[in-house]
Chain A
């Protein structure tokens, strides 16, 4: 149509802008400030002396519901139909072939694509129905503690992703792209919102021990990396052995008094340089050294759980006294949230049950179950749950059909991206609901009457939640419009949700 005619008709072009990724002005200003003045301040806000903006100007875009995120990531792909997605009808279909009208010719990995049969493996676990704030929720016997907090959980049974192998899938959920090179969600948050606590990093990563010792899926630094964002936004790993933050401890033979004196000298020498060159970077460096000094006390204080009351350990379980356990990390996460840390990513590995599922899954669940429940209860007890968004889940789900040998007692499951279960709690999400449904085979997402939904990444599909939708929703709870938190790189304004993603309002309180 002639554009001038169009103007006269005042046609709407709004649909054209459904995916607009803009907000460049603010990003650019921050880069200007960040590049020449405030250096690493985005991840350590206080270093500037506190009078410069924390995060980007204009952010949050609107009043946030959550100040912090605790992301409990189950690496490997937990089996949804053995934990959350109760499929009683499968019992009668034991060892029957997965019907072609269910599979619909969809691609499967080359680990099972050569199988001559796709026999149904019903879950061997009992499920119990627990009251929530809606119609109740079925929870597997493997998660008895989590079952006690379902009134606080927003269980999403209709998560879906596009990737079918671990590396691309976990990279996708953490960075919004299957290929390496993009910033992780936590670094976007650090970049956009800055920090609440000047003495701790904005974005903390915690790796958990796996008690079975079987950790046959890998993690990658890129999962908490910054991609093209300035590298100060990368996640800082807090470690349970050695220095909690790398190189935090003064060298042997150097006491605090000596360290202080050295820093004073460095500062004096740097000030002489500043007077000579007038380069504001020198001033920033002086402040970063002070910041480092403060970190040396704030981190050990954070890690010291000795003063936590006994009742806390009843919540998380005694395992929380074992440094590096998932339970200990959950407790640390609460302490981090208390101190205003924005984004805490806890990794737990070993959820890739291609075979021997019934041998391995109980131990995996035992590692995390009580701590997950304990974390929710503890946050609630301390009044932090309202402003903390807790997210639980993995990179994809698992197949109803068996991989390898099938028996009533044991079976294996391949990767399944088409539907799986995650849950969220706190931070302004609806407590005590279940969102989305799957068919009897936990193979496809279906609507309320059981018709298969073909979810779309481009449009919000009611009843289905794509990875980009989940990420858009998480950012939304932090007061961030996922379409406006962008960074220009190679001539393009990138964002976490690429060109898609929709806030799933149905999940929000």
Chain B
């Protein structure tokens, strides 16, 4: 309690000093006491922004008294010989009459604004600034970074790379000294956790310890950067930012298949795809010339926003909402600016107008995906997401197939084609019934309405059903059915394969017999193949289409694919133009459908293999631009039904302009993001990487680089990183390497109370980083220590243990994610990155440790410390199972208690226990062992938790006692913390 009290006291002292009034986020930075040169952005602007801009700032609609304090011209305007701000003349600047007024009616900010009176210190700062000429500088983050001069420091011996020089410069200003380098055991654990999200293995620790040569640590870092775990760990930060989930996120919250995007991400982070390509592919891969599959999978980024298909939803409303989400996410992820404020009015603090917002909006409102997702697993456009390796294999198949085709003799194929017989059928006399509506879908499907009952009168109406085109006989009515009937005439009796698609369910009768019955909720897409045994002459066919909600649809194809193709070829070769009659196509048809022959058999086998292989490759959602973009309008108050002026695509005025010659679409936007002229993108990204390694960014408000955000604690360092990142070819790995190999990062995390009190959040970095590990890392580290971790990469989201009833308690009963059925087998031990994410019901283990819900963009997680977390790591079955399997490993691999204890520490904490720790644990071990010896049943209960099979040769009491010891260690602060 003592440490807490003194800290609290220090914080309150800061509070009293009025630091808070500048910016709430800046509180943590202790103010240096000595006088220093004023910096407009750091010292002056926060005072004006916090206290004045709401009414005297960029929002044109509310500018009070025609005075803007964010603009020199307005602030210093001559107003009948007087000026609010008179550069060089603080005594004549009227602003002080207001901010220092004693009369409440005169006081600024007004008392009813909720803002406090400015402190003397703030007023003094403003006076000094005006005395110096009241120079306005552009907001720091809007000026493109230039490579800063490396500062001169007296302690130039300290440090490994340039990062350290910038950090040391700050130390010297603050009178701080660095901590010594952490010991090797700490270093390997810290580097491995921060780069791969996994603890080091004992072999890795031993190897690092044994390597006494120069550069051992750098080699360690290079090894980690080259390991597959690197991409897996990096991916999760990006997935938070772009709100990745395995469900649509709204209303029904059905499953959505976009995990190939997640695997693309891991793969390309591991390949160190330059950030410039990384950004362009995701934002606009579809707009690149001849995009590769990799570039297209990347556009899943654009499709990642939560979507809905709630019955009754108005399309225009959700077009606006979906687009808002894309704009807000993109601006936060890349620009670190929340333009969302400008959705309803000009931004209050930053120079972003409402019109700017809708110009950005115009980039994202014209993708070809339907606004409402149809609750489909794969709402188009979708793509088969083959990896480069898979693509090579498919190409090999294609080459082999082409080889076989080239050997077909054209005359032989043509002779076969001309002789092939297709019995023609015709369809006619289409009619449609009235729509029958009942209480729910089940009833609508089950009820036999008049058309399916013989002799009941039905008001049939003539219907213009066009084969191969979608019809909507139910007219979009909820919980309703409609019938379509017609006559199929066949020249002779034959078995005809027809194909139908429907939204939603469909039932088919041929000559009054049910031939197809598919009660399903779906959009028009997948084709059901139905065999019709046609009589010669006329056959009656009846279709029942049942709709649950939203639109309905029915599509009929009156042939099977083979016959259709043969028919088409015959027609083509009869009537087509010569250039359309491609011999290769005919060869393919001949080999596929022609007479049996060795080449044909080979061809069909290869095709089947290719198909089967291709079938194992998952589909994924991709972006595609509409042929003709939608118009975009400024929406008054952000309401979709209040469009005002039409707007054209453009970046916010204050940020300059897009590249000349670049297209005015997502591609041009992406190229501008990664151009040298962009002041924000590289700073925002390097800041987030810094945040990963140190727990806090150089700009603490990683999501806001605007006026209300924090001024960087070390801008020179931030700019150094931002510029070198670009100069190093946007290599993300090089960026990590520079940070992780710096002496700043390698300092020990402990420090004396005085230092901690001076800088509780370690913003000056005069000690090593120390913070609680993220949800995924805690789970993965626990599995890794025991050896249970399954390192298989990628694939569909897995479903681990989860308490019963969590999904069921909230889900829509017809949702594809209404019921949680956990996986069995090795998949449940995969890395947490691959866990299935249902956006409306996150996994409780992950949620307890602050994994975001993935409904909105999050670039800075909260990091809480709660009793719920303790309950998870103490009681959740997977954590118990990990402890139990770890205990088994200790018991098998070592013989004495002392050895096992050492091994336990090495496997979990990467170090040896000290005597004090040994004493604590040995005493408990004896107690547990004795206790379980007396109660073997309890021991069995404990060690049978979890799916993995226990080795029965281990005595139960021994196993149970060690299980508790393992679980004790994995609940220590040290295990849960990066330090």
Contact = CB atoms under 8 A, between A and B. Distances in A.
Real binding pair: yes
Interface of A: 1-7, 10, 13-14, 16-17, 20-25, 27-29, 31-33, 35-37, 39-40, 43-44, 47-49, 52, 107, 109-112, 114, 164-167, 178-181, 207, 214-222, 225-227, 229-232, 234, 236-237, 239, 241-243, 245-255, 258-259, 261-262, 265-266, 268-270, 272-274, 276-286, 288-289, 291-292, 295, 354-356, 359, 403-405, 412, 414-415, 483-484, 488-492
B112 A181 contact: no
Given A24-B50, A278-B751, A218 B810 contact: yes
Given A39-B866, A289-B870, A488 B312 contact: no
B110 A241 contact: no
A179 B327 CA distance: 14
B341 A492 contact: yes
Contacts of B969: 269
B314 interface: yes
Contact of B876 (A16, A111, A247, A484): A247
Which A-B residue pairs are the 10 nearest by beta carbons? A22-B114, A253-B942, A109-B312, A28-B24, A39-B865, A491-B708, A40-B866, A356-B439, A253-B941, A3-B65
B842 A221 contact: yes
A354 B440 CA distance: 9
A415 B312 contact: yes
A289 B975 CA distance: 14
B482 to A, nearest CB: 13
Given A16-B55, A279-B770, A218 B50 contact: no
Nearest to B852: A231
Interface string B314-351: 11000001001100000010000010110000001110
B311 A111 contact: yes
Contact of A254 (B50, B315, B942): B942
Contacts of A52: 8
B750 A219 contact: no
A267 B620 CA distance: 48
A245 to B, nearest CB: 7
A222 B114 contact: no
Contacts of A43: 866
Interface in B922-979: 924, 927-928, 931-932, 937-945, 960, 964, 967-969, 971-974, 976-977, 979
Given A112-B312, A491-B350, 10 more contacts: A1-B65, A7-B97, A36-B7, A37-B4, A179-B856, A218-B812, A229-B862, A258-B928, A269-B968, A283-B3
A293 B98 CA distance: 56
A19 to B, nearest CB: 10
Nearest to A241: B805
Given A3-B79, A7-B98, A269-B917, A491 B11 contact: no
A325 to B, nearest CB: 14
Given A39-B866, A221-B842, A405-B437, A268 B112 contact: no
A207 B807 CA distance: 12
29 contacts: A5-B79, A29-B27, A110-B315, A165-B314, A179-B321, A180-B855, A181-B856, A218-B811, A218-B840, A222-B853, A229-B862, A232-B866, A246-B844, A251-B875, A251-B877, A253-B940, A253-B942, A254-B938, A261-B924, A261-B927, A270-B972, A285-B865, A289-B870, A292-B868, A403-B478, A484-B114, A490-B338, A491-B341, A491-B350
A266 B971 contact: yes
B94 A488 contact: no
Select the residue from A261, A270, A278 with max chain B CB neighbours within 10 A. Answer: A278
A237 B847 CA distance: 13
A109 B313 CA distance: 6
Interface string B153-167: 000000000000000
Contacts of A165: 251, 308, 310-314
Nearest to B710: A491
B790 interface: no
A111 to B, nearest CB: 4
Given A7-B94, A247-B876, A265-B968, A232 B864 contact: yes
A75 to B, nearest CB: 10
A110 to B, nearest CB: 5
A222 to B, nearest CB: 6
B709 interface: yes
B24 A218 contact: no
B641 interface: yes
B8 A216 contact: no
A2 B65 contact: yes
A219 B475 contact: no
Interface residues of B, number: 153
B180 interface: no
B973 A40 contact: no
B114 A32 contact: no
B203 interface: no
Contact of B945 (A214, A252, A286, A354): A252
Nearest to A403: B478
B760 interface: yes
Select the residue from A1, A245, A285, A488 with max chain B CB neighbours within 10 A. Answer: A285
B921 interface: yes
Given A3-B84, A288-B870, A31 B928 contact: no
B855 A32 contact: no
A273 B931 CA distance: 29
B874 A258 contact: no
B20 interface: yes
Given A269-B917, A288-B866, A231 B810 contact: no
Contact of A13 (B55, B931, B938, B945): B55
Contacts of B350: 491
Nearest to A248: B871
Contact of B865 (A222, A277, A281, A404): A281
Contact of B3 (A14, A48, A259, A280): A280
Nearest to A14: B112
B260 interface: no
A6 B979 contact: no
Contact of A277 (B15, B750, B760, B876): B750
B112 A20 contact: yes
B894 to A, nearest CB: 20
A27 B115 CA distance: 13
Contacts of A13: 55, 64, 110
Nearest to B19: A28
Contact of A218 (B348, B750, B815): B815
B66 interface: yes
Nearest to B114: A22
A226 B858 CA distance: 13
Interface in B830-877: 840-842, 844, 847, 850, 853, 855-856, 862, 864-872, 874-877
Interface in B766-816: 770-772, 803-805, 809-815
B67 interface: yes
Contacts of A27: 24
A219 B810 contact: yes
A404 B437 contact: yes
A31 B960 CA distance: 42
A491 B707 contact: yes
B415 interface: no
A288 B438 CA distance: 54
A214 B348 CA distance: 47
A10 B3 contact: no
B738 interface: no
A230 B864 contact: yes
Nearest to B757: A278
B380 interface: no
Contact of B114 (A17, A28, A180, A355): A17
Given A17-B112, A243-B803, A490 B340 contact: yes
Contacts of A33: 8, 11
A40 B876 contact: no
Contact of A355 (B15, B28, B116, B440): B440
Contacts of A269: 917, 920, 968-969, 972-974
B214 interface: no
